[in-house]
Structure 1
Amino acid sequence: MTYKDLIKKFLNSETNDAETHEVNLFLQQPEAQAVFNEAWDEMEPEMKATAPTPDVESLLLRQWKKEIHKRIAAEDNSSIAKPRKPGYLRYAMAAAILLLLTLGGYGIFNTFYNGQNTEIAMTVANPTGKNMLIVLPDNSKVWLGPGSTLDHPKRFDDDTRELSLSGEAFFDVTKDPDKPFIIRTGDIYTKVLGTSFKIEAFEGGAPIVAVSTGKVRVAREHDGEMKELAILAPGEQVTWDPRQKKAVKTAVDKTEVLEWKDGKQVFNDLPLQDITKVLQRWYGMEITISDPGLRQMRLYTSLTNGMPIEDIMEVLAATGSFQYEIKGKTINIHKKI
């Protein structure tokens, strides 16, 4: 078997331990790059045929890049072989990307080494579509929204039940007074004992925590210290404004918070451009608004994830008095002529 064939086998996760070791040794050699590139080019058409949308790919690649560095670092620390050359990282990243794309993006797509301890954690991704139900090791339930990822341990063996979220999700937490449930979203930490609540924390946006039942404590880590932002009761939410560096606590309809997990979302006085961002996550489509005035037009409406996009656009067009065109995976919104 040639090294090119062996590399293809390795990228398809079909090598045994001895073959994997042989690939790792070969990738340290100067001539490896040309062989690897040739194998990669021959496999690329198949990879592209199973690849998700660019938005999905971007979402998952960010997570993969973060975790592959951890895996390689862990492997290097435990290895007695000579240090790998910088080019090895490129090969490992390429292998990770190929595996990512062939998985299609849904469900659990990776296990990774956790630098905190030796516990194995699971990364779950829901790039587009409907909310995804996840049952955690303690039987807590998570409804993971489109465009979101969740990291959680395979087992909750420590004194706390810790996980991290990028995006939005609804949590129904099993009560366990001896093990607080903590969700990390960037530098915002949400701590509960047993309750139901929703978190929205997309990259670049303002994190929001809204409570349906029970009580929730929200804090922010800054300069190594935790600062409490709010203690929330049912029907309350807190929004962290990263620009003004302050937390804003407001009332929220707890029924709407609860119904979000079933795909129903109420938009109260929101700009059309913010509503279309949600629809893009739901349907994996690109939505453009040609007129600046339409982008800032504020609407009151209720939509359900799973409705045909044509029906949703009819509702929005009637509410906002605009026109639209659907062409493939693109929607163009413009003023009425």
Structure 2
Amino acid sequence: MSYDEIESLLLKYREGKCSPAERDRIHAWYNQVQSGAPQAELSDTEKSVLKARMWSAIQHERKASGKTRTFLPRLSPMTVRIFGSVAAVLIVSLSLFYFFSNKPAPGTVAGDTLLLEASQEGLVSTANSTARPMRVKLVDSSEVTLAPGAALTYPRQFSAAKREVQLTGDAFFNITKDSRRPFFVYSGKLVTRVLGTSFWVKKGREEHQMQVEVVCGKVSVFENESIGSEKDASQTKHQFNKRVILTPNQRVTYFEESGHLMTSLVDKPVLLTAHAELPPAIYKNMALPEIFQRLEDAYGVDIVVSGDAVNECTFTGDLTSMSLFDQLDLICQSNDGSYEVQGTRILVSAAGCK
């Protein structure tokens, strides 16, 4: 039924002037309301007006009943249930409308508050809604590869002092070097600053975690303390805190709840140069300290030897094309030793040599 029909019939129903057919229509409409079926015929405005009219009628009825009991007919239990149900449905509908109309739109909640100042040319937002990585080329020739579901906001033209972008989700950055204009990536409360390098920014393994992994170059990572303040973050000077510096094959994990930055090695360290440019990793009775030095140079990691016994050990074998940790496994097994990753370093120990 339309708004006018509902209003007219409810008034007649309350006054006891409905015909049997009209009463059946009211009951049918009441059952529809009770079942939760959508009332598509009513607009939000009509619902609001109808609710106000109903509330006014209820108040009028209460006042009238206090003065005289003969002005209005007594409401039947069915009538009370109808008016109560209609009012409840309208109140819930209006409450939901109010909740969602006042709820921040996607991209404006705490983790995604806009942190960029709009330049004269304006901002661009690109989202990857596909199932494949999407490459975005910036005005300075830098490239950002967005993982599925990721989004990037950036200015059409960078300022003369700095380059800034904002990321939601996971992405790989290959940044053109510009020593005069540092490049900033804002991702929630995590800030990554580089001059020119390649790195990942992505979600951590657990909720409320973010990670930065460096492929080449040097990266500075901060916590942005200005996030979460009452002021507009895009108009507030960013307050960077707890800086850590990362080099290739290093990773930092940011724990949003505690604000802690924990550094470590990436799961699969990669060579700083291509395999083709390196000599074959074939060793014959070569001392372990010399092999470890080659691994340090090849992967940019620190390998620390614990105890003098390791310095007397040698290794013979072909480690070409093996990953860093596979090489260390084979070397340590052949010399009754072991290794463990402690932060950004690898600690090697051995009881003796076979």
TM-score, structure 1 length as denominator? Answer: 0.42
Higher strand share: 1
TM-score, structure 2 length as denominator? Answer: 0.40
Q: Please tell me whether Structure 1 or Structure 2 has the larger radius of gyration of its CA atoms.
A: 2
